[in-house]
Structures are given as C-alpha cells and as structure tokens.
Amino acid sequence: MKKALIITYYWPPAGGGGVQRVAKFCKYLPELGWEPVVLTVANGNYPAQDESLLAEVAQIEKVYRAPSLEPHVLYNGLARLVKRAPKGRSGSENATSDRGPSRLHRLGELVRLNLFVPDSRIGWRRSARRKGLEIIAREQPDLIFSSSPPYTPHLIASDLKKVTGLPWVVDFRDPWLENHAYNTAPRLGFIKQWNRKLETRVLQKADHVLAANPGIKNFAMMKLGEDQQGKFQVITNGYDVEDVRPAIRPLPRFTVSYYGTVYPQGFPMELFEGMRELIDADPAFAGDFHFRIIGSISPNVRASVEQTVPATNLTVSDYIPHSDMIDQLYETQALVVVLNDFVNNHVYAPGKIYEYLPSGNPILGIGPANGDAAALLAQTQAGVMLNYGDKDGIKQFLIDQYAKWKGGTLSKGPVGYPPFERQHLTRELADVFNRLTA
C-alpha cells in the first residue's frame, strides 16, 4: 500500500466544517490503496472541539503532532482582561455592538493580518517542518498532500518537497488572497505583496492543485500562466453515506433550522424579520412555527434575534457534536444556509449544504444568486438561493414549506447524490495520487 503524508492544521478533536474534508478523505483512502500518514498540530487553537469526530478517524494509526506557537492564546487572554475591565469609556469602546466589531477586535485583526504571514498559524511551520522530515525518513511516503486554510500547511509542504522532491498536491477549501477572513482589516502594501508571492510560489511548485469549488479554482488559475492550467481540478465537498439515516422522523411543529455561526456582520436580518411578520399575520402559523439556531452566536446578535422572534417560536443552542447534528438533520424541517454579505462570497459553497442534501429536507439559501452555492442548489433541485434583502422571497419560501408541512410532504425523505458521496470523491483524490506516482 502506498503512503500519503497528509498535512492539515484541523484534525479531530477539532470541530467545525474545516475538519470534515480531510478527515473523510483519510477515512476512505485505505480502501483505495493509500495509507494516510497525518501531520497535524499538537496544541491547536480551534473554534470548536468535537470529540465525536474522533470515531471518524479511529482507524488512522499514524497521526503525528508538532507543537505550534499560537498568538491566539495571547489575544484571547487580553480579550478576557478587557471584558473584566470596569465599565466606562474604555469598556464601552471595546464592547461588541450590532453595528460592527469591537475596537479590541479590530486592533487584533490589524495585528494578526500584518504581523503573521500568511496567517497566525505560521508559528507551527518550523516544528512541523522538522517533524515532517522525521516522518518522511521513518514512513517513506510516496506523496505529500496539504490542505488549507490556514495556509501555513502549504508552506510546510513546500519546505518538505524542496528537500525530498516528493510529488505534492495542494488542496484549497477556501481561496487564499481572496479569503474574507484574511481581509477583515487593512494590510500594508509590502505585506500584501509578500502574501501574494507566497501564494504564487505554492501554486507554481505544486504538482497538482485541488479546489473545493469552481470559483476557488478560478481564483487560483488566474495566478499562473497558460502552461500550468492543466494541473487544476475541482473535488467538491460531500457527505458520508454512513451518516445517512434510513428515514425521516416527524416533528410536531413546522421547524426551520440554522446550523453554524451567526456572525455580527453581514448576516441577513430579513430572515428573522420575515418570520416575525408571518407570525404576526397568521395565528395558525404562529402556533405551528419553530425556528432553531444551533451554533455560535454573539450575545448582541442573540438579543436582537430574541427581540424579533417570539420566545415561543425560538430555540437557540450552542454548538453540538457533529454526530448529534447528523441525527437532527433527519428530522422533518426546512434548513437554512447563509453566505454572509462580504466580498468574493460567490466562490463559497459551505460544506454543510452537502450534508443537508441526502436528508431530502428543503434548503433555503441566502446569498449571491450567481454563486457556486446557488449553482449547487439548482443542480440538485434541493432548494433555492435568494439574494440579500429579499424578505418577500423568504416569506414566500416559508409559506410554501408550511403548506407542505401541513400536507405531510415537507421532506422527500433520504435521497442519494452519488457524485457527492465521500467515497466517490476520495476515489477522485486517489486517482490524482496514482497519476502523480505512476
């Protein structure tokens, strides 16, 4: 069996969507003749922890970890000190508001984006490079695979390729220069140029470049000349057939669910306003309707939502393990996906959409109507993508699905989408590996 050195920052027990893609590849690669040898971080700073994901990679025996210098620890400590500061001028200035991020957050972003290039995980590069060379000497892998974001894993992989000459596959879950999370504060001119140079160098040195969506692929292709266009390929995100439940469980109320983070900026409040207007206009709808948010939400946004949607129609829960979310997906409901209103969001198709698809529940998307997520919903006929501010469209979607719920036809029941099954997608990845090592 051949071996692939997999370099990824996010690995179980890290939670969130970023960990799913690589973990599922590693789960199914052994069936296709490839043993994954994973290099990840020893002390990662993750937005969420999810112990349930450890079961997904329990059979992966070779997982190596290297320590990282994590500036997030210092920033989070400073943030806690500010929160405990007495209220007054400084406290009010640093408080998060519905109008935008706090002054402390803006300062933190300014430092993060101008001091750490390509990202704040750069403190992992040196120890991971050293550990990677040890792994290569011990395991003798046939190929290197690195996934982003963050983008530091690509620099580590580039270092290892330079020393060993091994074939190298680069994987982009999100774009690099165009990533919104890396453009939340102004960057100095030479920092931008440095970051651009790093991305171009990675794209040039890589033997093959994968992207999770066509838009991400197009952004990357524009950075290289025509002679290198053939090494770009899309392998989308997907869903695991082992996660598909055999049947849909009915719920006593007409339920609409949102899973994920509700961000303070760019989230369409028209969604909540439309719900409230329908509740006020129709007592029957008000009695039957239930909206639930499962995930992270800032206190001020939560307060705004709770002021808009009555408590009898609303449930807000914290992040739940992925396995629990999958269980909930196979309940009769309408599912909401939001692409926050920021630059370049047309190239995103959140991984959660692919996990929603096999449930057969209708999907309401809010975001760019000409983006990759909209194309996915149209291709699968699993839902609709409405533009920001389309409150009438949101209300009509809810009215239509409410009628289907009353008629017992809200969900189509479990549906198969073979092109988006993780086994099929991993086969595409193994084909790439095989070509590069033939």
Q: pLDDT for 238-294, tens place per residue?
A: 999 999 999 999 999 999 999 998 887 778 899 999 999 999 999 999 999 999 999
Q: What is the pLDDT of residues 6-43, one digit of tens each?
A: 999 999 999 988 899 999 999 999 999 999 999 999 99
Give CA–CA dist 165/437, Å, rounded: 12
Examine the pLDDT at 161 and tell me if it is beyond 80.
Answer: yes
Examine the pLDDT at 212 and tell me if it is beyond 80.
Answer: yes
CB 36 within 8 A of CB 2: no
CB 364 within 8 A of CB 387: no
In the chain, the domains with their CATH numbers are 2-70+108-238+421-436 (3.40.50.2000), 242-416 (3.40.50.2000)
Give CA–CA dist 236/223, Å, rounded: 21
3-state secondary structure 112-134: HHHHCCCCCCHHHHHHHHHHHHH
Examine the pLDDT at 102 and tell me if it is beyond 80.
Answer: no
pLDDT of residue 308: 96
Q: Mean per-residue pLDDT for 195-224?
A: 97
Give CA–CA dist 309/224, Å, rounded: 49
Confidence band, pLDDT 50/70/90 cuts, at residue 76: low
